[in-house]
Structure formats: C-alpha cells, structure tokens
Structure 1
Amino acid sequence: MIKKLKSLREKKWAQILLIPFAFIYGWVIEMRNFCYHWRIFKTISFPVPIIAIGNITAGGTGKTPFTLFLLELLKSDFGRIVVISRGYGRESRGVRVVSDGQGAILRAVEGGDEPVMIARKCLNVPVIVAERRSKGIQTALEKFKPDLILLDDAFQHRQVARNCDIVLINQHYPLHQAHLLPRGNLREHVRNLSRADMVVITNSDGHPETTELKFLNRHFRGEIFTCRNHDDGLVDMWHKQTGDISHLAGEKAIVFAAIAEPEQFKNLLLAHDIAIADFLAFPDHHAYKKEDLADIYQRAKSRQCRYIITTEKDLVKIEKGVFQEINLVAVSLKISMPDMQKFRKYLLRYIDIN
C-alpha cells in the first residue's frame, strides 16, 4: 500500500487528484491542534521530566537511532531512563512492558520491532509500548520510578505534556518542497514547527541547503542542530559486535530491509564495496512470513552468497538459525553530532538540570 502511494505521488495527475484529500486531512489536523492550543482538549502532566522525540513527516528521519543517542548522552545525568513508544507493527494491544531493564524482553510481534531493538541494545533500560502514551507513563511511574522518560514518535501525540519537544528532519527530503498527506509525506503544516523546542537535521553532511535553512527559519525560531548516521560495525542476533563492516568489502550478499527509506541503507552498503546480489525492500515494519524468509534464503543459496545482511530493526524479527549455514548479520548505526555538548546543554535547560 505504501509503495503504491509513493509511486502514485510521482504522477502529475495523481498530485492534482490528491489535493482535496490533503486539504481535508490538513483541516482535521489543524482543528485538532486548535483544540489543544485553546485547551478544549486537555493535556496530562506527570511528575517526571519528559522529552518527546518526533518528526513532522511520515517516517525516515531516524527516530530510533536518535533515541539510542539520547540514552547514551543522558545516562550520566539520570539514574533511570524509561523509553515509551506506541510500538508500530505489533500484534498486541494496550500497555506492554517490552523490557523491565533486567533481561526479560518481549518478541517483536508483541512489542514492535523498534522498541524491541532498543531493549536488546540497552539491556538495563525499561521499555514500554502503549497506544495511549499517558497509560504507558503511568505504568512506568508505578513499576520503575523513572528520573526521565523518552517519549518516542510523540510530536503529534499532544495529550501528554512534555518538557522538551525535539523534531527530526531528514536532510535528504527538504520541507520546502513537501506536501501534506496523502499528497506528500507531511503529517502537519510546517508552520507547526513553532511548537518544537529544538530541531535536529538528520542524515546531514553538516551543510544544510541554504534554501531549506531559510525556509525553516521562517517557521522555527529555536536552535537547529545537525547529526548524521554512520555504521558502527556488524552485529549478531543479540546485537553483539561481530566485526567491522569493511570486512565484507567485495563479498557477495543478499540484502533485505523493511524500513521507511531502504535506499539509504542500500547506498551505505554500496559505499563499503559490498557486492549486493539482490536487494529486497519490504514495507516499513513488515512482519516477515515463512515464505519471505524462505525466498531470501533460496536467493542467497542460488547466488552462492556467504552473507545475508539486514538492519538491526529487522534483525529482531528473525528467529535464530532460519538461514541455516548462511551468515546473517546486521549493520549497527550510530549517530554523531558536531555540537553534541552544546545540544546537551540546551536540552538540560528544558528539564532543569544544570
């Protein structure tokens, strides 16, 4: 469905056809924001600092790597940090404790691929999923007594009051050329960035386009930071380091991924001279079926590949040994930020930590 919508948007006639639907969608979102702004819809406050990480577009900005970055950055300032997410792609409902921070972790089908990935990489961090984040926060307060809560994908989830709103923007997809859903991938009008406290441009080369910066500065008056993803080695089924990605240079491999922007992942591998024999892109948060995995295995075997490569987000959905003798590895990603200490200083101001 997502692939069909993306291909549809590329056609001029479809762009015209989708204008009224985008207008209706935008009107509904603006009415909702109006109700929150004038307190017709109530927000719920909690006795714990909350940082919300979100975006203004539909997917592909790197919220999960950024959440991991924040956990590392703030771990010395807070005794216990809890991550709360909606848990896209899971089959369960309601509040579920994905990880209690002591080792027990739900499967991706119950907890969602991204929350389970965070739980496996940060074994001492409690992770909770809940459609209604307020109920997830209440569970966190009762069970874990957190010093800080990271609220994943929550810029549009306005029911919960927060100390700081961080909005991520992918440099590869300029906002000044974007349109509202379903015509484009904007979740709401760019002018609503005025609600944010900080904006971070992800996948950045450190030099955002002048046109884009001017456009952002018209709608957002706060601090703008940049960061980029880079590979942090290869990992096994439990996200333990198994070597450097450079070891795969020249190796023929089958690659699969179910992420919002698979081409970025493909380009990363090509930059390391990995010979991609076949690249399979599935819809974001795709739940792999037996036939999907059997197809991947047969492709690798018929092309005599020694490796099957995927993302860490996809790795959590694969059972051990499913590809038999062929090595399954995932590329670990890590965020680097040029002004990291300045970013940390600004962030702590919002949550009253000196």
Structure 2
Amino acid sequence: MKIFRILFKILLFRFSIVYSAIHWLNIMLYKLRFRKIYKFSIPVVSIGNLTVGGTGKTPVTKKIAQYFLDQGFRPGIVSRGYKRLSKGTIRVCNGKTILSSIEECGDEPYLLAKMLGMKVPIVVSNNKADAIHKIQEDYKVNVVLIDDGFQSFSIKRDIDIVLINRSEPPETYSMLPMGKMREPLSSLSRAHFIGLTKEGPVHSFIDSEIKKHDIKVFDTSTCIYLSRETSGAKLKKISSKIDGSSIVAFCGLADPRSFENSLSKLNLTIVKFIAFPDHHLYLDKDIEKLKKDMKDQSIDFVVTSEKDYYKLPSKFIDQYNIHVLKYEVNIGHADLENIKKSIG
C-alpha cells in the first residue's frame, strides 16, 4: 500500500511539472506580446489568490466594494461566474436590482449582489475584458473590481491584491495537482497588497517571499454570527441566546473545515455535518438526502452558509428553520485608504 502512495505522489509531482511549464509559457506569451493585453481608462483592481479556492475572496471583495461605494466611487464587479449554467456575458445586477438567477450567473456573483444590497453593478463572463467593457459602458462605473483576477493576464490591472489563507497547511503550497497552487510563490512579486485571511500564523517560507518583494500587507479579521430570514425576506442577525444549541449543518464550500470550526466557536453542538462540493447546486435528490439525514435528529435548528442558502427551495427553508452563518470581514481603515490612494 505504501509503495502505491509513493508512486502516486511521483505521478502527481510529474503532472505538477507539466502544469508549471504550461503556466510559465502562458505568462511568457503575454510578456512577449504574442497575446493581447487590454487596458482600460478606469482603475482596475484585482482580488485574487495563488491557490484554488477557500481564501475568502467574496467577503473581501464585498468589503472593498462597499468602501469604494461609501467614498463616493461608482464601483463595478466582474467575475467569471464559476459553475454557472449560462454562457456568454450576463448582467447580474444593475445597481438597483438583480437581473439574473443564481443558476445563470453563479453563486458567488449572486451572493455579492445580495451582500451589497444590489447597489453595485455586477457582470459575469468567461472573457473578463469583455465584462469590463460592458460594465463601463452600461453602468458608467469609475472603478472595477475583478473577483479572482490575479491570473487574468489579458487585463492590465492597476492594483493586484492577493489573499493568503493562514489556516492552510504547508503541503498546500505545491503546484497543482500535487498541491493547491495555481502559481509558484515567486508570483507574489506581481502583487501590490497581500491580504491575510482566516486564522493562524503565516508560514515562514511565505513570510520570506513577501519580505523579499517588499509587498504591503494588511490583516483581516472576521465577525461571525447567525441570521435567519425575517418576514421581509431579508436575513437578520439573531439576537436570542444560541449557546449550546444542537444543530445539523451543511455547506458546499471550498473550505468546509473552516465553516465547521466557525460553528464550534459559536458554542453550537454539531449533531451532524454534511459537506457538498464547492459551488454545489441543490437538486431534488440533494434536498431529499438532507431531509433523510435530519430525520429523527434531536436538534434546535439547521445551519448553512449564505452562499448555499440562496440555492435552497423556500419551502425547505421554512420547513426546517434554516439559519445562516454570516461572515463580516474587517479591514483596517488605514489599509483601505492605502488601496484607494494606490488607484490615484
């Protein structure tokens, strides 16, 4: 059995070398101008990462967009809309109302529209340059945020913010498919800001890379709380005592471990925890499975993530008293000011 594990690791390592070579070639094609790089007349800010999923891009994007909004800017957000069922360019939100379903635009752009109170235009497209053209033309925004844009080499960015999840173990930092890295750590040289998310110390090899390139670093903290739907169909923070409550919890996130740990911090007793794949769309069979898993459980209520909540049937939400674990990311005012100053 041990020999098979060793052989499997050797195979993954070889695939990682191939992946790294393809990634390097892709970058060189842009550097040598064999592929077009699009420039825009308004500032473009990318919020991205080096790893696959789970760094907290959505709440950080929300926080920065809200800050720009409060400062009198007209921000817009573009995203790929990962795992959406549509093709082409889709207008998610026009700054007043949501224009597409969660299935059409993807769960994260839809969630951003909800989190920002539908006050920020959002457009999704596999061609992010096209999305920026559309959002600039249709909604007259004067700053664009690219959700997951660090690898968008076809777009000239004014600011690159790279998020690092401090809770990731060291083995994460190998190239795909051996680890979770899309790019090597040396790619941090392109970043203007590093945002530290989740909890834990920064690994020494990451800290050394950051210091080598003298990159500005900002810390984030997270406030977590439970909310539930009110009669006005809005999620409202629960003020009643929840300590010691018994729950069933489920989510479809890139980092379900972090979600489960957050529930434990609220002093909730998790009777059963169910993890679905990231960006999971809930079909009838999934709802039936959840009902079966919750049957005969002695619990006070059920908890899911905000991203998953918007994909659930309203009847199921009402029937099973679904609560939502909400995350509010805090970034220091001085750090937000530095980001604003960097776009001129």
What's the TM-score bracket when you normalise by the shorter of the two chains? over 0.9
Question: 1:270: which partner in 2?
Answer: 264
1:151 Cα deviation (Å)? 0.6
Question: 2:343: which partner in 1?
Answer: 351
Counterpart-to-counterpart distance in 2, 1:104 and 1:344: 27
Residue ranges of structure 1 left out of the alignment (5+ in a row): 1-9
Q: Decide which of 35, 47, 56 is 1:53's aligned counterpart.
A: 47
1:15 Cα deviation (Å)? 1.8
Counterpart-to-counterpart distance in 1, 2:90 and 2:153: 21
Question: 2:15: which partner in 1?
Answer: 21
1:27 Cα deviation (Å)? 0.2
**Which consecutive aligned stretches of 4+ in structure 1 deviate over 3 angstroms post-superposition?**
10-13, 174-177, 207-212
RMSD after superposition = 2.0
Judged with a 3 Å threshold, the aligned counterparts in structure 2 of structure 1 residues 11 and 226 are, in CA distance, closer, same or farther, namely farther
Counterpart-to-counterpart distance in 1, 2:294 and 2:172: 39
Counterpart-to-counterpart distance in 1, 2:318 and 2:340: 48
Question: 1:111: which partner in 2?
Answer: 105
1:285 Cα deviation (Å)? 0.6
Question: 2:253: which partner in 1?
Answer: 259
1:277 Cα deviation (Å)? 1.5
Is the Cα contact below 8 Å between 2:246 and 2:299 reproduced in 1? yes
Counterpart-to-counterpart distance in 1, 2:8 and 2:209: 26
Question: 1:132: which partner in 2?
Answer: 127
1:221 Cα deviation (Å)? 2.2
Aligned amino acid, residue 345 of structure 1: E
Question: 1:141: which partner in 2?
Answer: 136
Counterpart-to-counterpart distance in 1, 2:253 and 2:316: 21
The TM-score with structure 1 as length reference comes to 0.90
Task: State the SS of the aligned residue for 2:58.
Answer: helix
Is the Cα contact below 8 Å between 2:249 and 2:304 reproduced in 1? yes
Instruction: After superposing the two structures, state which structure 1 stretch, 105-114 or 295-304, moved more.
Output: 295-304
Matches within 5 A, 1:76-115: 76-115=70-109
| Alignment deviations for residues 185-206 of structure 1 (CA, whole Å, 9 cap, x no partner) | 000111111111111111145x
Q: Decide which of 135, 142, 150 is 2:145's aligned counterpart.
A: 150
1:290 Cα deviation (Å)? 0.7
Q: What is the aligned residue count?
A: 338
Instruction: After superposing the two structures, state which structure 1 stretch, 137-146 or 38-47, moved more.
Output: 38-47
Counterpart-to-counterpart distance in 1, 2:245 and 2:81: 35
Question: 1:7: which partner in 2?
Answer: none
Counterpart-to-counterpart distance in 2, 1:133 and 1:231: 32
Question: 1:301: which partner in 2?
Answer: 295
1:143 Cα deviation (Å)? 1.1
Judged with a 3 Å threshold, the aligned counterparts in structure 2 of structure 1 residues 141 and 268 are, in CA distance, closer, same or farther, namely same
1:324 Cα deviation (Å)? 4.6
Is the Cα contact below 8 Å between 1:253 and 1:300 reproduced in 2? no
Judged with a 3 Å threshold, the aligned counterparts in structure 2 of structure 1 residues 204 and 108 are, in CA distance, closer, same or farther, namely same
1:228 Cα deviation (Å)? 2.7
1:120 Cα deviation (Å)? 1.2
Judged with a 3 Å threshold, the aligned counterparts in structure 2 of structure 1 residues 259 and 14 are, in CA distance, closer, same or farther, namely same
Is the Cα contact below 8 Å between 2:85 and 2:104 reproduced in 1? yes
Question: 1:72: which partner in 2?
Answer: 66
The TM-score with structure 2 as length reference comes to 0.92
Task: State the SS of the aligned residue for 1:75.
Answer: helix
Question: 1:202: which partner in 2?
Answer: 197
| Alignment deviations for residues 107-165 of structure 1 (CA, whole Å, 9 cap, x no partner) | 21111001101111212111111110011111111210001111100100111111100
Counterpart-to-counterpart distance in 2, 1:230 and 1:283: 25
Aligned amino acid, residue 129 of structure 2: S
Q: Decide which of 222, 236, 239 is 2:215's aligned counterpart.
A: 222
1:309 Cα deviation (Å)? 0.6
Question: 2:168: which partner in 1?
Answer: 173
Judged with a 3 Å threshold, the aligned counterparts in structure 2 of structure 1 residues 78 and 323 are, in CA distance, closer, same or farther, namely closer
